[in-house]
């Protein structure tokens, strides 16, 4: 049995130049409990987690573990105190085995031989992870990778596990299995700090709930006596938004057409296998699939980032099968990338320079071959106002914005210039309910004006609510065409894993 842990944070303060990230934060994580932490982007959750995991140090307040005040000056201190963290973006080496990933950096704990293997297998069996130590991580699906990450922190002796948005890329069946794993952890004496934007899941798994707003804790809730709407009001002070779209705006005009598109991996395996798909003006076509089944490659082929081996892609009748990304953009395609930090923004550059990205070849951000700084600044101010981007101004670096405001700026930039097609890959991943509602509103408004939207998302409620038509991608093939008006999230998740949606 794992020894239980009692963690109490009292009066936590953290300031950065010009910003109070945490102020008077109190949270008590009971032994053997799942404690959910909710709040908007920018509410201070990430800073608090970094303090608890020793990545940053508080300017005030205390951290107590089992009644004893501790100083966590590094993640090593946190690990030694029994605290482990599983980040939203996994930190695994694809070319190493499950066992090698778990042992890496912790060779002194259980060695690197048979003793380490036995310990990994013991953890896997105790908590129902079903890990295969000699399997390469690159061969694992996202849910199994997550279980490897949890095993890593347990292997290092964690008694409190911090999970940052753990269900963001899981289908409903995988979420249920994760929750089963968490219940096993709690039964063994572990505590879990569960950070999520999905309030229905919070109510399902949490024993205690704490809400943060504007850097401080604003209240606690008992999941057995509260509702999603009450949690939303506690978290953001407003009603819970819905992605639901009621009226149809679909026209007969085909904006994007893919016919028999096939893309091979280096090994000859098909990443996309004879994909045929149409998107009409005024239509949102949602693409559902477990991560790693071809969604990324589908987006990259449409955007000219990869070249298909065969098949054709047309945009408003023009063949773009061999077009470059610049040519695709110039023909009227906006692009919201899956990873806004890697592919959507230059984080250390001001917003007005980020407005230029991907649009540096014409007005309002360029005059001839030169960047039009004044034009880019003016249009950045328009985006900030029109898309409610919370920022001091256009000279603020993108890094200084919360995730939700970064995403609203990207959506505003990609909606500029009256595009005919928007390719939106996980447009609301990792943003709070306020930013999520705003992005949904902008997609609905653009759709109403005749924009075609290709929507890729792991949020099944978002896919069902926003889409006029749903397709399922599985191992690079489109395996189902589903009516979002009649399908449930559970049925859609079943289709995504190879079952049927009926």
Write down the pLDDT at residue 1: 46
Main-chain dihedrals φ then ψ at residue 117, nearest 5 degrees = -60, -45
464 found inside a domain? yes
339 found inside a domain? no
Structural domain containing residue 203: 7-236
Q: How far apart are CA 246 and CA 366, in angstroms?
A: 39
Maximum separation of any 2 CA atoms in the chain, in Å: 69
245 found inside a domain? no
Q: How far apart are CA 65 and CA 75, in angstroms?
A: 15
Q: Which of 195, 210, 236 is the last residue of a domain?
A: 236
Residues 407 and 432 in one domain: no
Q: How far apart are CA 146 and CA 250, in angstroms?
A: 39
* pLDDT tens digits, 158-178: 999 999 888 877 777 788 888
Reduce the DSSP state of residue 342 to 3 states and report it.
helix
Q: Which of 416, 432, 456 is the last residue of a domain?
A: 416
80 found inside a domain? yes
Confirm if 435 and 72 have CB atoms less than 8 A apart: no
Tokens of 32: 């053997």
Residues 186 and 302 in one domain: no
Write down the pLDDT at residue 411: 94
**CATH number where 321 lies:** 3.40.50.300
225 found inside a domain? yes
Residues 57 and 117 in one domain: yes
Q: How far apart are CA 270 and CA 40, in angstroms?
A: 40
Residues 274 and 373 in one domain: no
The angle at the Cα of 77, spanning 76 to 83, to the nearest 5 degrees, equals 90
Write down the pLDDT at residue 267: 63
Helix axes 403-414, 373-386, angle to 10 degrees: 120
Residues 360 and 225 in one domain: no
Specify the pTM.
0.68
Residues 95 and 186 in one domain: yes
423 found inside a domain? yes
Residues 453 and 314 in one domain: yes
Classify burial at 258, counting beta carbons within 10 Å of its beta carbon; exposed 0-12, middle 13-18, buried 19 or more: buried
Residues 26 and 170 in one domain: yes
Q: How far apart are CA 377 and CA 393, in angstroms?
A: 10
Total number of domains in the chain: 3
First-to-last alpha carbon distance for the chain, in angstroms, is: 43
Q: For the CA atoms of the chain, what is the radius of gyration?
A: 23
Tokens 């959506």 -> residue? 411
Residues 110 and 81 in one domain: yes
Write down the pLDDT at residue 19: 75
Indicate the pairing of strand 191-195 with strand 160-164: parallel
Residues 178 and 288 in one domain: no
Write down the pLDDT at residue 89: 76
Point out which residues pair with 335 in neighbouring strands: 423
22 found inside a domain? yes
Residues 83 and 192 in one domain: yes
Indicate the pairing of strand 421-425 with strand 333-336: parallel
Residues 408 and 429 in one domain: no
Write down the pLDDT at residue 214: 82
Q: Which of 365, 394, 416 is the last residue of a domain?
A: 416
Measuring CA to CA, how many Å separate 442 from each of 110, 122, 148, 352, 428?
A: 53, 49, 38, 21, 12
Q: Is the peptide bond before 364 cis (omega within 30 degrees of 0)?
A: yes
385 found inside a domain? yes
Ranges in the chain, pLDDT < 50: 1, 502
């Amino acid at each position: 049995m794992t020894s239980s842990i009692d963690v109490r944070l009292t009066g936590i303060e953290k300031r950065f130049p010009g910003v109070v990230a945490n102020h008077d934060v109190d949270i008590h994580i009971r032994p053997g409990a799942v404690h959910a932490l909710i709040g908007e982007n920018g509410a201070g959750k990430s800073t608090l987690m970094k303090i608890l995991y020793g990545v940053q140090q508080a300017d005030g307040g205390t951290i107590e573990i089992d009644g004893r005040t501790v100083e966590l000056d590094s993640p090593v201190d946190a690990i030694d105190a029994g605290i482990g963290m599983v980040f939203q973006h996994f930190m695994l080496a694809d070319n190493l085995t499950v066992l090698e990933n778990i042992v890496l950096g912790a060779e002194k704990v259980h060695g690197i031989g048979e003793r380490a293997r036995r310990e990994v297998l013991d953890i896997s069996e105790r908590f129902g992870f079903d890990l295969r130590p000699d399997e390469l991580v690159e061969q694992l699906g996202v849910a199994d990778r997550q279980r490897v990450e949890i095993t890593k922190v347990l292997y290092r002796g964690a008694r409190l596990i911090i999970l940052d948005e753990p269900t963001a890329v899981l289908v409903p069946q995988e979420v249920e299995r994760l929750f089963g794993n968490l219940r096993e952890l709690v039964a063994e004496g572990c505590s879990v700090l569960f950070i999520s934007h999905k309030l229905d899941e919070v109510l399902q798994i949490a024993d205690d709930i704490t809400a943060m707003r504007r850097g401080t804790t604003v209240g606690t809730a008992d999941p057995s006596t509260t509702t999603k709407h009450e949690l939303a009001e506690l978290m953001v002070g407003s009603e819970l938004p819905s992605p639901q779209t009621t009226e149809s705006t679909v026209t007969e005009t085909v904006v994007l057409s893919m016919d028999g598109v096939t893309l091979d991996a280096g090994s000859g395996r098909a990443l996309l296998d004879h994909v045929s798909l149409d998107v009409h003006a005024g239509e949102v076509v949602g693409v559902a699939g477990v991560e790693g089944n071809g969604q990324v490659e589908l987006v990259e082929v449409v955007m000219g980032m990869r070249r298909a081996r065969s098949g054709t892609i047309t945009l408003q009748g023009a063949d773009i099968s061999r077009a470059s990304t610049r040519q695709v953009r110039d023909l009227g395609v906006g692009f919201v990338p899956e990873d806004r930090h890697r592919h959507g923004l230059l984080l250390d550059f001001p917003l007005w320079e980020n407005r230029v990205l991907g649009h540096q070849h014409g007005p309002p951000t360029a005059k001839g071959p030169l960047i039009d700084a004044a034009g880019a600044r003016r249009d950045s101010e328009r985006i900030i106002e029109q898309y409610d981007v919370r920022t001091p101004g256009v000279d603020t670096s993108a890094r200084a914005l919360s995730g939700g405001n970064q995403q609203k700026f990207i959506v505003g930039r990609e909606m500029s210039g009256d595009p005919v097609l928007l390719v939106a890959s996980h447009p609301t991943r990792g943003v709070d309910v306020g930013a999520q509602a705003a992005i949904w509103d902008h997609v609905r408004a653009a759709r109403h004006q005749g924009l075609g939207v290709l929507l890729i998302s792991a949020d099944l409620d978002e896919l069902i609510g926003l889409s006029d038509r749903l397709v399922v991608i599985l191992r690079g093939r489109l395996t189902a065409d589903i009516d979002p008006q009649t399908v449930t999230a559970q049925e859609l998740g079943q289709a995504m894993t190879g079952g049927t949606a009926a």
